[in-house]
A and B are shown apart, each in its own frame.
Chain A
Amino acid sequence: MGNPSTADGLIRLLAARFRVITLGGVAVISHGLGRNTHDADVWVEPLESPVDWAAEVGGVVFASRSARPVRIGTCAPFPAEDLANVIGDDKVFRVMGLDRPLDIFREPNELEIAEFDEVWERAVALDDGTRVPDAIDLLVTKQATDRDKDMQDIAFLEAKAEREYLARLPSAGAEEAAFMLGRFLTPKVAELGLRHPEESVRKLSLGYLKELAAEGDPFAREILDRV
């Protein structure tokens, strides 16, 4: 069991009762990037409603003597009975009073509540019961944040996802390849798709490459000029 006075301990307690997916710095470090993180971020399964979530998840968090839950924007403390409203409005709350801040999400940036199950299925299980989202799901959470500090994470995760795609795409069947391209697309991946044995994949890749070029991607334009 976890020590509820540390972020890691509280996460373990949550993971013993709910499905917990790591996000932010903890997840990026788990993928292999060497960097520091000021806090820990987790996505706890959304349950049926904010009221259910507040009762169940709040029951674990507020039972910790050290934990001091605050609102994410204002850092204003709030009582357990307000958690349903807070989580309904903010989608996340922060736990202070531990060895480091812990942000607990019901709905993270750029991912929908309804996507929890599929993100969980694709995620990698860790020994403590939590899971780390795959590189592409993690990239989605960092899209449109407009934060300079996410640039390093994005570059690392894009390169990792691209490497995996470049290794898998050539041997993927038509259906799998179409699914892969529909989920993650870079000019290099689309270029590789142009050499796929299935004609449908080659056509799809060319269409995507033209879309990227039309959006202004200079790498895609250069590839199109060559082919």
Chain B
Amino acid sequence: MKQYRPDVERQKWLYSMMKSRAVMRRRQGKPEGNTRVAQGKKQIPDNSEPWLPGGVRSVADALWISDRIKEDMERWGIRPPQTD
């Protein structure tokens, strides 16, 4: 059995980004964690909705989601990031 481990170079990049964010927040006088929570305010909840209630139940569902996203991207003139 192969063990899956995250790619080390990507881990270094993520770590570097995390440290950079922490430095930036310190310079801005912000806490390291979520600012709203640190201030005792209520976090705005996630209001995103799934493409399909109940999730993907078939290949057709997955392709339908892909096609809707492609249409939206074309409508807004966004170049597709990937084409596999």
Residues of A within 8 A of B (CB): 7-8, 11-12, 22, 24-27, 29-30, 32, 34-41, 100, 110, 126-128, 130, 132, 136, 139-140, 143, 147, 149-152, 154, 158, 161, 182-187, 212, 215-219, 222
Chain B residues with CB under 8 Å of chain A are 1-8, 10-12, 14-15, 50-51, 55-63, 65-67, 69-70, 73, 80-84
Q: Is there contact, CB below 8 Å, between A219 and B56?
A: no
Q: How far is the CA of A185 from the CA of B84 in the complex (A)?
A: 27
Distance in angstroms between the alpha carbons of A161 and B5 in the assembled complex: 11
Are B82 and A35 in contact, with the CB atoms below 8 A?
yes
Could you pull out 25 A-B pairs where Cβ atoms are within 8 angstroms?
Answer: A8-B60, A24-B84, A25-B82, A25-B84, A26-B63, A29-B62, A29-B65, A34-B69, A36-B66, A37-B62, A126-B58, A127-B57, A143-B4, A147-B84, A149-B83, A149-B84, A152-B81, A154-B7, A182-B1, A185-B3, A185-B5, A186-B6, A216-B11, A217-B12, A222-B15
A-B interface pairs (CB < 8 A), number: 122
Q: What separation, in Å, do the CA atoms of A183 and B73 have in the docked complex?
A: 37
Q: How near does chain A come to B20, taking the closest CB pair, in angstroms?
A: 13
B58, A130: Cβ atoms under 8 Å? yes
